[in-house]
């Protein structure tokens, strides 16, 4: 089956340049993948980036309007299906494309996706999940920034979605879930995490472990760590920063001598897991988990390499046909 991916060509700090660089790179790196892209944006601008190779895989669709990075989501919603982002999302809704990718305004992308593509039953707001390297493989952490402020109900829904993700996409039988907090004791934390924990203790779809702390992500104490998008985003970036600093200091201390250089070489393979943290472009492409279609957000400041990776995430999710699996997971169907 030919995969068709809708692309918001105008989203991102350096769009549409990095978008077309990303598409070209993806095509070059995946010569055998049967794929078509529908690029939405200002046609005159897009045309200037087209190459003979791109013309084989990319079809351009003109959009008069563009959603800027600073536009409030509520205003973006009013623009609806007119701007390039709305048009790209609507292509999925109409069944023309299997997935949509944008590096544009996150709030607007989420709001429009929610309205046009809808969330699963029982899910109010999608969340961004990420698999973070841990002692046993990886820990799924969500939300990583889609929802800055979350209610207890949102956290409960993230727990359900995270469980479905690990059960259905990572084949973990009865994934354990923890809520990120300042301590593991039941009395710790604010009212929101307290209420969420209360709801989760007897939840039929969640194997609730209780509260977990920041270091439990690396320890793999649980399979799924639930938190609000404010804390999650800051924690993910703090981990990234730490790994990059650690790697830098390590390199410095090992580069002085021949023996050190050999040591550095030996350390390389087993530190590969951490590499994706050192080059954030390599894990660019975050799913809005909870939507009824595949919607992939690329980082706004990414380059062609990063955008190509976001496209790859979208392509993989389409090929794995993740939506029916996630839906089954949410309904408790085993």
Binding footprint of its own copies on the chain (CB under 8 A): 70, 133-135, 145, 148-149, 180-182, 185, 187, 189-190, 213-219, 227, 229-231, 233-246, 248-250, 252-254, 256-257, 259-260, 262-264, 266-271, 273-274
Contact assessment for residue 296 and residue 99, using Cβ atoms and an 8 Å cutoff: yes
**Min dist. Cβ of residue 262 to its own copies (A):** 5
> Cα separation of 23 and 268, whole Å?
30
Residue with Cβ nearer its own copies (44 or 70): 70
Residue with Cβ nearer its own copies (127 or 318): 127
**Min dist. Cβ of residue 88 to its own copies (A):** 23
**Min dist. Cβ of residue 161 to its own copies (A):** 20
Residue with Cβ nearer its own copies (264 or 328): 264
Residue with Cβ nearer its own copies (12 or 329): 12
Q: Which two tokens stand for residue 234?
A: 């800051």
Contact assessment for residue 87 and residue 110, using Cβ atoms and an 8 Å cutoff: no
**Any idea what DSSP says for residue 271?**
G
**Min dist. Cβ of residue 326 to its own copies (A):** 25
> Cα separation of 151 and 287, whole Å?
21
Q: Which two tokens stand for residue 201?
A: 């203790």
Residue with Cβ nearer its own copies (122 or 260): 260
**Min dist. Cβ of residue 155 to its own copies (A):** 13
Residue with Cβ nearer its own copies (42 or 194): 194
**Min dist. Cβ of residue 317 to its own copies (A):** 24
């Amino acid at each position: 089956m030919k995969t068709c991916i809708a692309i918001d060509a105008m989203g991102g700090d350096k769009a549409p340049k990095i978008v077309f660089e990303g598409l070209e790179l993806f095509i070059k790196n995946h010569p055998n993948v049967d794929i078509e892209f529908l690029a939405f944006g200002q046609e005159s601008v897009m045309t200037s980036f087209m190459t003979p190779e791109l013309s084989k895989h990319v079809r351009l669709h003109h959009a008069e309007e563009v959603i800027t990075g600073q536009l409030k989501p509520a205003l973006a919603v009013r623009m609806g299906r007119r701007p390039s982002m709305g048009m790209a999302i609507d292509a999925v809704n109409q069944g023309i494309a299997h997935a949509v990718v944008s590096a544009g305004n996150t709030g607007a992308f989420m709001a429009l996706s929610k309205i046009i593509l809808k969330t699963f039953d029982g899910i109010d707001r999608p969340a961004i999940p990420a698999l973070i390297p841990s002692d046993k493989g990886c820990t799924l952490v969500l939300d990583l920034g889609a929802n800055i402020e979350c209610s207890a109900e949102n956290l409960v829904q993230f727990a359900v979605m995270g469980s479905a993700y690990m059960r259905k996409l990572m084949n973990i039988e009865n994934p354990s879930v923890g809520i990120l907090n300042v301590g593991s004791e039941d009395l710790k934390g604010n009212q929101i995490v307290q209420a969420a924990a209360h709801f989760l203790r007897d939840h039929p779809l969640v194997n609730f472990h209780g509260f977990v702390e920041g270091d439990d992500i690396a320890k793999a104490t649980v399979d799924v760590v639930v938190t609000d998008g404010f804390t999650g985003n800051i924690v993910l970036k703090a981990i990234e920063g730490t790994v990059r600093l650690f790697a830098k200091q390590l390199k410095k201390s090992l580069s002085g001598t021949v023996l050190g250089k050999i040591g550095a070489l030996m350390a390389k393979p087993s530190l590969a897991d951490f590499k994706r943290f050192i080059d954030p472009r390599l894990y660019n492409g975050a799913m809005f988990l909870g939507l009824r279609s595949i919607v992939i957000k690329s980082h706004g400041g990414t380059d062609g390499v990063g955008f190509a990776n976001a496209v790859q995430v979208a392509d993989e999710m389409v090929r794995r046909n993740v939506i029916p699996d996630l839906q089954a997971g949410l309904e408790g169907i085993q």
